[in-house]
Amino acid sequence: MQNCSKNQEYKTFFIETWGCQMNEEDSEKLSGMLKKMGYKKAANKIHADLIIFNTCCVRENAELKVYGHLGTLKELKAQNPQLIIAVCGCMMQQKHMAENIIKKYPFVDIIFGTHNAYKFPEYLNTVHQKNSSVVEIQDRETGIIEGVPIDRESTIKAFVTIMYGCNNFCTYCIVPYVRGRERSRKPKDIENEIKNLVSKGYREITLLGQNVNSYGKNLIPKISFSELLRKINTINGLERIRFMTSHPKDLTEDVIDTISECDKVCEQVHLPVQSGSTDILKKMNRNYSKEQYLNLIYKIREKIPEASITTDIMVGFPGETEKDFEETLDLAKKVEYDSAFTFIYSRRKDTPADKSKDQIPEGVKHERFNRLVEVINKSSAKRNKAYMGKIEEILVEGISKNDSTKLMGRTRTGKLVNFEGDKDFIGKLVKVEITKSNSFSLSGKQIQ
Ligand code: 5AD
Ligand code: SF4
């Protein structure tokens, strides 16, 4: 174990991340900053001199997990008083949560929110030099901070954030309160980052934003998301471009055309629907109806027949009747999603939906959730079965997680494939014949 006194240089760190890809990317930035300061990654919490919890607050479950894990750190800190513990991310961006952590977990040394993560090295130095704790939550978002070093998990595929924040204020969602308003990165900064990644051997990038379809609206000169996609599509050496998340109200025909026309843009659309009931969608402030959503799906299927379509769906939003829920089931059956993230509505403090008197009992929510998962699993299995016997282009990501004799990678449509193949092909595109399918993955063998 490393020596770790608050007056000495700290050597190893461990970051635990909850939540979405945005949080994953923020953690990669924290890791990048720490490595620049001379720190190294610890294999686990027990051997770390610094532990960071990067938290999520989108649902209550995510918060409960953080509390549970914090509880276990108390013992580690008692064994090693020099251990530094930092808690950051979306949960900490809410003042009442940060106050709660200070009160209940006084052994936490550093607390900061989403808007000031780039200042982490400063906070760490303060703890080292002054031997005091730091709590800093910045109310408002700053402009975009470029040039923060990133230590990426993969050497093959990378997330690249193109915009931060969200202006949509869906009535259940806390994200706009903790991530601030929409702001887009300059196209040149995005392009340069991707070119740099390609020069290091990365083959695939996923463009990230809460609502990528409104990219560029606040830039001068304005640029649309399709224009950005077309620009990135010309980068030599890059093989695949993915993006998420699209909002159905903003996904234009232009973007659908761009996906079908640009060779590097993969045939995969993540299009969160949330509910199949137009009444509930209205209460959610989603700005589209069931019919409009279905028409969008039919357009995608018409122009990009091979596209995989995935979604986020929520059950138990306040006021959701059995009839509303059946509309959701009906929509899911009509769309036949490749896969879906399914959620039980979770009350979030200070959001409009939390104030509704029509909260749905937990038992009803769970029963609906199970019925929905059954429909989704059926369509996932059906969509995957259609790959049987096909020859697919796979970007090989590494050794399979559940069988070390096999490799794993993804199709252009984002399907996970485990296959027998040659390890020398990790990081490369290969052809794989699909020989087996289930609801969650495909299997096959390399043929080239
Ligand atoms: N309860 C349950 N699910 C939620 N999501 C966002 N807010 C909530 C909430 N309060 C889901 C939405 C969103 C995904 C990222 O998380 O489906 O698309
Ligand atoms: Fe939340 Fe809606 Fe914004 Fe998505 S679009 S982050 S669900 S407010």
pLDDT tens figures, 118-149: 999 999 999 988 888 999 999 888 889 999 99
- Mean per-residue pLDDT of the chain: 94
* CATH H superfamily, domain 157-385: tm_1862 like domain (3.80.30.20)
Average pLDDT for residues 57-86, to the nearest whole number?
93
pLDDT tens figures, 422-447: 899 999 999 999 999 998 999 999 99
pLDDT tens figures, 13-32: 999 999 999 999 999 999 99
Amino acid 4: pLDDT: 43
> Which pTM was predicted?
0.94
Average pLDDT for residues 337-356, to the nearest whole number?
97
pLDDT tens figures, 236-273: 999 999 999 999 999 999 999 999 999 999 999 999 99
Amino acid 142: pLDDT: 80
What is the CA(384)–ligand 1 centre distance, in A? 26
Q: What is the token pair recorded at 184?
A: 């887009």
> What confidence tier does 312 reach under pLDDT thresholds 50, 70, 90?
very high
pLDDT of 7 over the 50 cut: no
57 annotated among ligand-binding-site residues: no
56 annotated among ligand-binding-site residues: yes
CA distances to 277, 286, 319, 443 from 281, rounded to whole Å, are 6, 5, 11, 38
Atom index in ligand 2 nearest the CA of residue 167 equals 3
Q: Looking at the structure, give the CATH architecture of the domain made up of residues 391-446.
A: Beta Barrel (2.40)
Average pLDDT for residues 174-183, to the nearest whole number?
94
pLDDT of 3 over the 50 cut: no
Show me where the domains of the chain are located.
12-136, 157-385, 391-446
User: CA-to-CA distance for 86 and 127, rounded, in angstroms?
Assistant: 11
CA-derived radius of gyration, the chain: 23
Atom index in ligand 2 nearest the CA of residue 174 equals 1
Q: Looking at the structure, give the CATH architecture of the domain made up of residues 12-136.
A: 3-Layer(aba) Sandwich (3.40)
Other C-beta atoms closer than 10 Å to the C-beta of 427 total 17
CA–CA–CA angle 102, 106, 107 (5° rounding): 130
Atom index in ligand 1 nearest the CA of residue 347 equals 10
pLDDT of 1 over the 50 cut: no
What is the CA(59)–ligand 1 centre distance, in A? 7
170 lines ligand 2 (CB under 6 A): yes
Amino acid 428: pLDDT: 95
Amino acid 10: pLDDT: 55
- Ligand with the closest atom to the CA of 20: 1
